Amino acid sequence: MIKAILFDFWGTLVEQGLHSPLKELHQIFCPRTPFSEFVIKAEKAMMISVYPSFKEMFLSLENEFNYPLSEEFRDNLIGFWNKNWMLAHPYPETEAILKELKESHALALISNTDCISIERVMEKFSLKQIFDKIFLSYKLGLIKSEPEFLKTALEELKLEKEDVLVVGDSLQSDIYPAKKMGIKAILVDRKNKRDYELKITSLNELPELIKRLNKNAAELKGN
């Protein structure tokens, strides 16, 4: 039986203000590198440390890729990154579904994120109090694809891998790391363009899918 649900934040619960900001950075810093490789290095440069401002965060990214920017260009990127969080908002069904699931499950938040954007969005929409536990990359010093991230979450929740479910919109950051640990994972694919066995196109479909997973688990245990 699923006792806790671990939700990704960006793209799962909250729509970013701009489309794929990391993909924009990819085109600037190293377009010839596969995005799957770029994103890991970029997230480690930007999202596993606390920075006093976006300027220091982007300087870290520049150092990581040995690609210094002009002050004017860096300022433009900072404006771009600010616009992303300022225009971000929860998906229409997010609040209602979280409240429904909270009645029967522990809820945890897991996110690769910088230290500024997520805090401002959670405060703006009063999201923090919904979760029993919050695990953020910049606080753990880890990104979600590193095994210790989910291990830490399980330890703090005092649950076994069979007791939890990961819900996220990224195969690389959410789904594959969970599956490697033997944790069930549901892909949120709002455009319905990717192939994956456990997939929903809206959070509205999640409660029913969880019921099915629990029923299947109970039947297997009975056999």
How does pLDDT run across 165-189, given as a tens digit for each residue? Answer: 999 999 999 999 999 999 999 999 9
**Phi, psi torsion values for 101, nearest 5 degrees:** -70, -30
State the Cα–Cα distance between residues 31 and 211, nearest whole angstrom.
43
Cα gap 110→168, rounded to integer Å: 9
Tens digit of pLDDT for each residue in 124-148?
999 999 999 999 999 999 999 999 9
Q: Who's near 166: CB < 8 A, 6+ residues apart?
A: 5, 6, 8, 110, 150, 174, 175, 178, 183, 184, 185, 186
Q: Tokens 């970013």 identify what position?
A: 16
Phi-psi region of 182 (alpha: psi -120 to 50; beta: other; left: phi over 0): left
Query: Does the predicted TM-score (pTM) go above 0.75?
Result: yes
Q: Per-residue pLDDT for the chain (223 aa), expressed as one digit of tens each? A: 899 999 999 999 999 999 889 999 999 999 999 999 999 999 999 999 999 999 999 999 999 999 999 999 999 999 999 999 999 999 999 999 999 999 999 999 999 999 999 999 999 999 999 999 999 999 999 999 999 999 999 999 999 999 999 999 999 999 999 999 999 999 999 999 999 999 999 999 999 999 999 988 777 776 5
Structure tokens of 133?
């536990």
Q: Which CATH number fits domain 4-16+89-222: 3.90.1200.10, 3.30.530.20, 3.30.70.360, 3.40.50.1000?
A: 3.40.50.1000
Q: Provide the residue ranges of all domains of the chain, joining segments of one domain with +.
A: 4-16+89-222, 21-86
Provide the pairing of β-strand 184-188 with 164-168.
Answer: parallel
